[in-house]
Amino acid sequence: MKNLIQKLTETFSPSGFESAVRDVIRAEVAPYADEIRVDALGNLIVRKGPDGNVENARKIMIAAHMDEIGIIASHIDDKGFVRFAAIGGVFPRNLPGGRVRFFNGTPGVIGVEPLDKPTETPPLEKCYIDVGASSNKNHPIKIGDVAGFDRSFIDMGDKLVAKAMDDRIGCAVAIEALKALKSTPHNVFFVFTTQEEVGTRGAETSAYGIDPDLGFSIDVTMWGDSPNQRGLDVHLGKGPAIKIKDGGMLSDPRIVNWMISSADKAKLPYQREVLLGGTTDARAMQLVRAGVPVGCISIPCRYVHSPSEMVDYRDVQNAVKLIDVMLSGPVEI
Amino acid sequence: MADKTPVFGAHQVQLLEKLCNASGVSGDEGEVRKIVLEEVKPYADTVKVDSLGSVLVTKNGKTAERVRLMLDAHMDEVGFMLVNDDGDGLFSFEVIGGIDPRSLPGKQVLVGKNKLPGVIGARPIHLTSREDRQRKIPVDALRIDLGPGGSGKVKVGERAVFATRFRRAGGSLFSKAIDDRIGVATLIELLKAAPENLDLCLSFTVQEENGLRGARVAAFQLKPEMAIAVDATPANDLPVFDGSENTFYNTRLGAGPAIYTFDGGTLNDPRLINFLAQTAVEAKIPFQYRQPGGGKTNAGEIHLAQTGVPSVSISVPHRYTHTAISLSRVEDWKNTLLLLHSALKRITPALLSFERP
């Protein structure tokens, strides 16, 4: 599974440009799926049908987003420096000295104009990308070209570090859960969604199309176990986090109970997550059509939206087991 | 059947003038709607006013493999609503849509259906201190002044627009409502020259300026296979006062229609971005990419309708957006119309036969 995580996280696919990672995922899931399709916004919808009659089975949607944060070129100046806008929640404090890679393969380093106060966080307007060009003539980049943050995967043993753990780790969990699922009484739709980082957009249209009876997302959550990090009682290595609420969604208590009772039954560790800010695809799923009971299984992740996001491999494996248990039996809600 | 090419001449500018001079603040678009209905009826298969007040038009093509394309332009404009009659012809008001309050003092307005003239007053410089002049004046402190005796003539809840009348000066167009009557006028001309490879659906939408509301329900009803939002976008292309390079111009006047890649509401479909750009190159029509950044068009709602709609935005650049007067170029408008018409003729199902990259 670590190889899969490396392959997924080292693929460049910022929001709206998910085809590269979609191809990686499609190749992984194809042998295990009953049906695969791609919708208008690029969501990869992977269905695994029930053993029995599909008409009577519940439709369960499981969303993990394929996209990652990135940047988009907005101007090439006279000297060849590239100005850019953020795709998704890019923190300027994480930028200086970082590297990016454009879709055409062009690498770049992020520089910052001199600031009035050297200690201040640079605003995005003061940042630029240096691709080694000396003018805007015959420049390799044009306005609208997209780049991802460039940082390689590290296996630290239990801890794994990469860019785009948010949410390729959710994709990895969904892929492995599909592979592990030997049989299910449900009609399960694993949806690898697009454009989550710009506002859970892919989940909104894919959920409309699937019209699920219930569902959940798999995403990273924040952490509370590094120096002076406060406000969230979630720790790396203590199990997948079962979301009670976040900044945009209140999990359906019946879905929370389904997750907790499944974890208890299989003697799997888990944590209860109460997140004050941020949200996941589950919010969009919950509000589609006439509404859907939803929840979320979170992988605790340090340094979210930086180029070095860290998760604990045991949490990842336990999330796969939890989802397998949940989907293998009937759901009472 | 002969290929229809959109006409661009004095009549089109006259129609734009009529549209621009109409009052149509968000939620009160009736005057604009009346003009649109008159213009589209002779050319449409169906015309409907939906529950929010948008005009939805269809015009079916004739070829065997047609694409259902939605074109959108919003009818509403930014403006004001009276919130309290303070007596003596003075009214407190609120801003509808995004207007910078710094641009308001000293501007003339037209209030209500009868376009009663008024002014947003400003204290004379003689009676202000140096400190006063450095402070931003909040909208709460401003009044629309209809003059003594104006009190009974309009009611709280009525809307007001900037009083600026449309003017053409050489290649330049000046108006309060380029955004987005220029899109409305463009759609009307495209309908008149509708190609036969499309089932064209047009939405002349309400309430864009207060949150893309008309487009949301319009797209739900029209169920298009792809969509293009036609709007007007700021050109912040003046030189920077200190002589440094302007890196934040959004678009440039005279550089042609602006194709969107990324804004606050939409990651425009790369298949459609490339298609528009390629069409422009082949048809030898100038174009520019709008700088990626914030702001939204109706595509932000349209592309999320139901199971999703591949969408792109294209805009006519104009300076001084959302102020009393903005400035656009005839050539940019004409090239926007020509690019869209060239693109429409070339649309086939093959355009979306492969996955979104």
Dist. CA A275–CA A243, nearest whole Å: 8
ipTM: 0.92
Q: Is residue B170 part of a domain?
A: no
User: Given B248, B294, B308, which is nearest A39 (Cβ)?
Assistant: B308
* pLDDT single digits (tens) B191-219: 999 999 999 999 999 999 999 999 999 99
Q: Are B31 and B110 members of one domain?
A: no
Contacts of B216 in chain A (CB under 8 A): none
Whichever domain contains B205, its CATH number is 3.40.630.10
Q: How far is CA A87 from the centre of its chain?
A: 14
- A contact residues 95-134, partner B, Cβ 8 Å cutoff: 125
Q: Are B138 and B194 members of one domain?
A: no
Nearest-5° angle of CA A257, CA A261, CA A265? 175
User: Given A40, A83, A143, which is nearest B310 (Cβ)?
Assistant: A40
The minimum CA-CA distance between B228 and chain A, rounded to whole Å, is 15
Dist. CA B226–CA A69, nearest whole Å: 26
**A77 vs B: CB within 8 A:** yes
Dist. CA A270–CA A260, nearest whole Å: 8
Q: Is residue B340 part of a domain?
A: yes
Dist. CA A234–CA A222, nearest whole Å: 7
Using an 8 Å Cβ cutoff, are A223 and A282 in contact? no
* Cis amide bond preceding B50, omega within 30: no
Q: How many domains does chain B have?
A: 2
The minimum CA-CA distance between B274 and chain A, rounded to whole Å, is 11
- Return the active site residues of B: 208
Nearest-10 crossing angle of helices B178-192, B10-21: 140
* Cis amide bond preceding A167, omega within 30: yes
Q: Is residue B168 part of a domain?
A: no
End-to-end CA gap in chain B: 36
User: Given B245, B247, B355, which is nearest A19 (Cβ)?
Assistant: B355
What values do phi and psi take at A166, rounded to 5?
-80, 100
What values do phi and psi take at B309, rounded to 5?
-130, 115
Q: Pseudo-torsion of CA B17, B21, B22, B26, nearest 10°?
A: 110
Q: How far is CA A82 from the centre of its chain?
A: 27
The pLDDT value given to residue A51: 84
Dist. CA A306–CA A324, nearest whole Å: 30
Q: Are B21 and B66 members of one domain?
A: yes
The pLDDT value given to residue A52: 82
User: Given B247, B273, B355, which is nearest A75 (Cβ)?
Assistant: B247
**A139 vs B: CB within 8 A:** no
Decide which of B162, B186, B213 is a domain's last residue. Answer: B162
The pLDDT value given to residue B5: 82
* pLDDT single digits (tens) B42-89: 999 999 999 999 999 999 999 999 999 999 999 999 999 999 999 999
End-to-end CA gap in chain A: 32
**B247 vs A: CB within 8 A:** yes
Q: Are B343 and B239 members of one domain?
A: yes
Q: For B243-252, what is the mean pLDDT? A: 94
Cα dist from B336 to B74, B190, B268, B284, B330, whole Å: 16, 11, 18, 12, 10
Contacts of A142 in chain B (CB under 8 A): 289
Contacts of B304 in chain A (CB under 8 A): 201, 204-205
Q: How far is CA B164 from the centre of its chain?
A: 16
Q: Are B189 and B325 members of one domain?
A: yes
Q: Is the dihedral of CA B178, B179, B181, B183 positive or negative?
A: positive
Dist. CA B236–CA B239, nearest whole Å: 9
Nearest-5° angle of CA B114, CA B116, CA B122? 155
Q: Smallest Cα–Cα separation from A240: which of A261, A226, A260?
A: A260
Q: Is residue B5 part of a domain?
A: no
**A40 vs B: CB within 8 A:** yes
CB atoms near residue A260 (< 10 Å): 14
Q: Are B205 and B308 members of one domain?
A: yes
Q: Are B148 and B213 members of one domain?
A: no
Give the pLDDT band of residue B3 (cuts 50, 70, 90): low
Q: Are B304 and B212 members of one domain?
A: yes
Cα dist from B246 to A130, B251, B262, whole Å: 18, 11, 20
Q: Pseudo-torsion of CA B7, B8, B13, B19, nearest 10°?
A: 50
Q: Pseudo-torsion of CA A171, B263, A12, B356, nearest 10°?
A: 70
Using an 8 Å Cβ cutoff, are B330 and A16 in contact? no
User: Given A38, A125, A143, which is nearest B355 (Cβ)?
Assistant: A38
Which regions in chain A score pLDDT beneath 50?
none
Provide the 8-state DSSP code for A105: S
**B291 vs A: CB within 8 A:** yes
Decide which of B100, B132, B162 is a domain's last residue. Answer: B162
* pLDDT single digits (tens) B161-187: 999 999 999 999 999 999 999 999 999
Q: Is residue B3 part of a domain?
A: no
Contacts of A195 in chain B (CB under 8 A): 267
B262/A75 CB distance under 8 A: no
Q: Are B211 and B330 members of one domain?
A: yes
The tokens describing B131, both together, are 């400190």
Concatenated DSSP letters of A244-293: EE-SS-B--HHHHHHHHHHHHHTT---EEEE-SS---HHHHHHTSTT---
Domains and CATH numbers, chain A: 2-68+163-328 (3.40.630.10), 70-149 (2.40.30.40)
β-strand partners of A216: A62, A295
Q: Which residue has the higher pLDDT, B151 or B325?
A: B325
The pLDDT value given to residue A231: 85
Burial A33-49 (b: 16+ CB within 10 A, else e): beeeebbbbbbbbbbbb
Give the pLDDT band of residue B4 (cuts 50, 70, 90): confident
Q: Smallest Cα–Cα separation from A110: which of A94, A88, A130, A125?
A: A130
Q: Is residue B195 part of a domain?
A: yes
Chain position carrying tokens 């090419």: B5
Residue A316 backbone class (left: φ over 0; alpha: ψ -120 to 50; beta: rest): alpha
Which residue blocks in B127-202 are alpha helix, DSSP H? 130-134, 178-192
Give the pLDDT band of residue B1 (cuts 50, 70, 90): very low
Give pTM, 2 decimals. 0.95
Q: Are B87 and B206 members of one domain?
A: no
Q: Is residue B184 part of a domain?
A: yes
Query: For residue A124, what is the nearest residue in chain B, using CA coordinates?
Result: B293
- Return the active site residues of A: 196
**A310 vs B: CB within 8 A:** no
Q: Smallest Cα–Cα separation from B313: which of B323, B305, B304, B302?
A: B302
Q: Is the dihedral of CA B95, B99, B103, B106 positive or negative?
A: negative
Whichever domain contains B152, its CATH number is 2.40.30.40
Provide CB contacts within 8 A for B205, sequence distance 6+. B54, B72, B73, B74, B75, B76, B214, B215, B218, B298
The tokens describing B29, both together, are 């678009």
**A87 vs B: CB within 8 A:** yes
Decide which of B162, B193, B214 is a domain's last residue. Answer: B162
**B172 vs A: CB within 8 A:** no
Q: Are B236 and B182 members of one domain?
A: yes
The tokens describing B128, both together, are 């202000």
Q: Are B254 and B238 members of one domain?
A: yes
Write out the residue range of the structural domain in which residue B99 sits.
79-162
Above 60 in pLDDT, residue B330? yes
Query: For residue A76, what is the nearest residue in chain B, using CA coordinates?
Result: B247
Q: Is residue B185 part of a domain?
A: yes
What values do phi and psi take at B186, rounded to 5?
-65, -45
B267/A195 CB distance under 8 A: yes
**B349 vs A: CB within 8 A:** no
